[in-house]
Amino acid sequence: MRNEVVVIVGAARGIGHAIARAFAQEKASVALLDVVAGMEELAAQMTDHCGVPTLGLQSDVTDYAAMLSAAETVRATLGACRHLVVAAGTGSGKFGFPFWNLEPADWNRVLQVNLLGVVNTAHAFAPDMVEARQGTMLFLPSVAGQIGSQTDPPYSAAKSAVINFAQCAAKDLAPYGVRVNTLSPGMVRTTLNRSVWEAWNAAQTEADPLCVNIK
């Protein structure tokens, strides 16, 4: 992967950060994008540890203009993106079973980040790959997008839509030598999933034999 430019969206922590580290260990040039502050410091740490060029950008996937700007900055700093991984995601933060435990308004942010965030990112970075007639995109939906998880219906529905969008994008980009794939993790112990466990736990009663305190 030496000299390959890789962009990881959602790289501050969890699965996205692990993927970014793996690419850096393979000597790729890595751009780490996330909505949280401190991305420059995180990138500098990765450069120190792996000895590869890195770039850290605070970028919000729900803001298309911000993603266009990020693509331009990556191009000017590391070179045109050849491999894109979109691992950004969020849940409703509530226990969604049955679905009417949630309000329709609880869906908005989840759809903005998990679905439209992927769409915004793909739109921003696809032109460089099309021009070069090579590249890869990897989206991280979830097994929840395959089976209809009742734990968080907005999250599940958004992830299902990501799988469908990836199928559309794969067909559109194949003639240009660009591959689009999805990887659907199961339950992984991350900050994102902790909110799901805690929301479920808060909904239980002390008399419930299945009640487990999350520490």
Would you please indicate which residues are annotated as catalytic (active-site) residues? 155
- Angle among Cα 119, 125, 130 to the nearest 5 degrees reads 110
DSSP track, 140-187 = ---THHHHT-SS-HHHHHHHHHHHHHHHHHHHHHGGGTEEEEE-----
Measured distance CA(93)–CA(77) in Å, rounded: 36
Measured distance CA(20)–CA(30) in Å, rounded: 7
> Residues 126, 63: contact at Cβ < 8 Å?
no
> Residues 67, 120: contact at Cβ < 8 Å?
yes
